[in-house]
């Protein structure tokens, strides 16, 4: 079962969150595989790491809307997206346009000519038309212009630049589990005169411990074993794990009704042309690989207006 663990280092003003996504992650991959849409291994890893990172980042903020993590660029992978809702439901997709080498990192996948970017968007559930969501964008390279190879490094950079928060993020994913550990220095209380040297020492020590965590360990160890292995000498205060029904879980928001409104926006002639040519309009969701099929009878029942509607943004998801 997927789970999320929050903890604090007492007296150090450092917090941590550990997430493990397993059952939902496995079923997402199984759905893709049975739809013939399995990702190459490096893309699967990126998608899993982004899902884990998105859940961790949403868990650090009080926000009732979606957090959307996007990386886009100019390599064989055009785009990868992870969306996380306030209830920690997540979904993830990637657009792969050319073969991806088995050992490809972020640079080879998305940042071949240095044009890759990472965007973090906070979307409100009740956003008015024309109202822009909050968005922060960072490049996929460090301050010296060296390309970053892992999405975790990009997001550490984002947290420092956009939120002024020192953050350590270790991420890993394979076909079984997508996991992440986040350690963050809490901002000083307003007006408080902090012992800066003490604060730095504490955070630096925790940060060094986190740096010893290997990808394989993060994937293999359960929460108890992992936290003990890293922090057994630290004043760790654990909170009740978020598990069971409240745990992060895979969920998609696509529906037949959304496909129907997309067909209405397309217009009757266009929809009927597709049915005439292909026997049905078939649309697959890029997030969950669900397929929606509208044959001639279904299309007729939709009673699509003859004229295409004004271009809006109906999508199936």
Question: Angle at Cα 185 formed by Cα 179 and Cα 200, nearest 5°?
Answer: 125
Q: Which is nearer to Zn ion, 252 or 265 (CB)?
A: 252
Contact residues: Zn ion, CB under 5 A: 252, 254, 285, 287-288, 290
For 187, 188, 224, the CA distances from 164, given in Å and listed in that order, are 8, 11, 30
Considering the complex, what minimum distance in angstroms separates the CB of residue 288 from Zn ion? 3
Q: Which is nearer to Zn ion, 171 or 288 (CB)?
A: 288
Which spans in 9-148 are helix H? 23-34, 41-59, 106-110
Considering the complex, what minimum distance in angstroms separates the CB of residue 251 from Zn ion? 9
Joined tokens for residue 290: 């669900």
**Whether 45 contacts 205, CB under 8 Å:** no
Considering the complex, what minimum distance in angstroms separates the CB of residue 200 from Zn ion? 45
Question: Which H or E element spans position 236?
Answer: strand 236-238
Considering the complex, what minimum distance in angstroms separates the CB of residue 317 from Zn ion? 5
Considering the complex, what minimum distance in angstroms separates the CB of residue 255 from Zn ion? 8
Given the DSSP bridges, would you call strands 89-96 and 249-250 parallel, antiparallel or unpaired? parallel
3-state secondary structure of 25: helix
**Whether 93 contacts 46, CB under 8 Å:** no
For 3, 72, 74, 106, 141, the CA distances from 115, given in Å and listed in that order, are 35, 8, 6, 12, 10
Measured distance between the N- and C-terminal CA atoms of the chain, rounded to whole angstroms: 26
Considering the complex, what minimum distance in angstroms separates the CB of residue 250 from Zn ion? 10
Considering the complex, what minimum distance in angstroms separates the CB of residue 109 from Zn ion? 23
Q: Which is nearer to Zn ion, 26 or 162 (CB)?
A: 26
Q: Which is nearer to Zn ion, 37 or 61 (CB)?
A: 37
Q: Which is nearer to Zn ion, 25 or 158 (CB)?
A: 25
Q: Which is nearer to Zn ion, 215 or 258 (CB)?
A: 258
258 exposure class (CB count in 10 Å sphere: 0-12, 13-18, 19+): middle
């Amino acid at each position: 079962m997927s789970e999320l663990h929050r903890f604090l280092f007492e007296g150090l003003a450092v917090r941590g969150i550990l997430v493990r996504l397993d059952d939902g992650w496995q079923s997402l991959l199984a759905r893709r595989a049975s739809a013939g849409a399995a990702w190459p291994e490096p893309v699967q890893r990126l998608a899993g790491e982004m899902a884990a990172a998105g859940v961790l980042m949403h868990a650090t903020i009080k926000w009732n809307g979606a957090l959307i993590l996007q990386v886009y660029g100019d390599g064989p992978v055009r785009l990868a997206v992870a969306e996380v809702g306030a209830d920690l439901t997540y979904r993830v997709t990637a657009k792969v346009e050319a073969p991806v080498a088995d050992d490809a990192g972020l640079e080879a996948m998305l940042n071949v000519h240095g044009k890759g970017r990472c965007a973090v968007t906070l979307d409100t559930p009740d956003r008015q038309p024309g109202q822009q969501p909050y968005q922060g964008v960072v490049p996929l390279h460090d301050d010296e212009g060296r390309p970053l190879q892992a999405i975790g490094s990009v997001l550490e950079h984002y947290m420092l630049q956009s939120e002024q928060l020192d953050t350590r993020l270790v991420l890993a994913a394979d076909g079984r589990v997508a996991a992440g550990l986040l350690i963050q220095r809490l901002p000083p209380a307003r007006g408080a005169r902090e012992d800066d040297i003490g604060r730095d020492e504490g955070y630096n020590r925790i940060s060094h411990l986190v740096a010893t965590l290997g990808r394989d360990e993060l994937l293999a160890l359960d929460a108890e074993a992992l936290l003990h292995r890293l922090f057994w000498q630290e004043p760790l205060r654990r909170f009740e794990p978020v598990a069971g029904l409240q745990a992060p879980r895979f969920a998609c928001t696509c529906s037949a009704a959304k496909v129907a409104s997309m067909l209405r926006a397309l217009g009757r002639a266009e929809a009927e042309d597709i049915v005439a040519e292909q026997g049905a309009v078939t649309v697959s969701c890029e997030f969950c690989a669900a397929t929606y099929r509208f044959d001639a009878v279904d299309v007729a029942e939709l009673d699509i207006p003859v004229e295409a509607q004004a271009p809006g943004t109906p999508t199936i998801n």
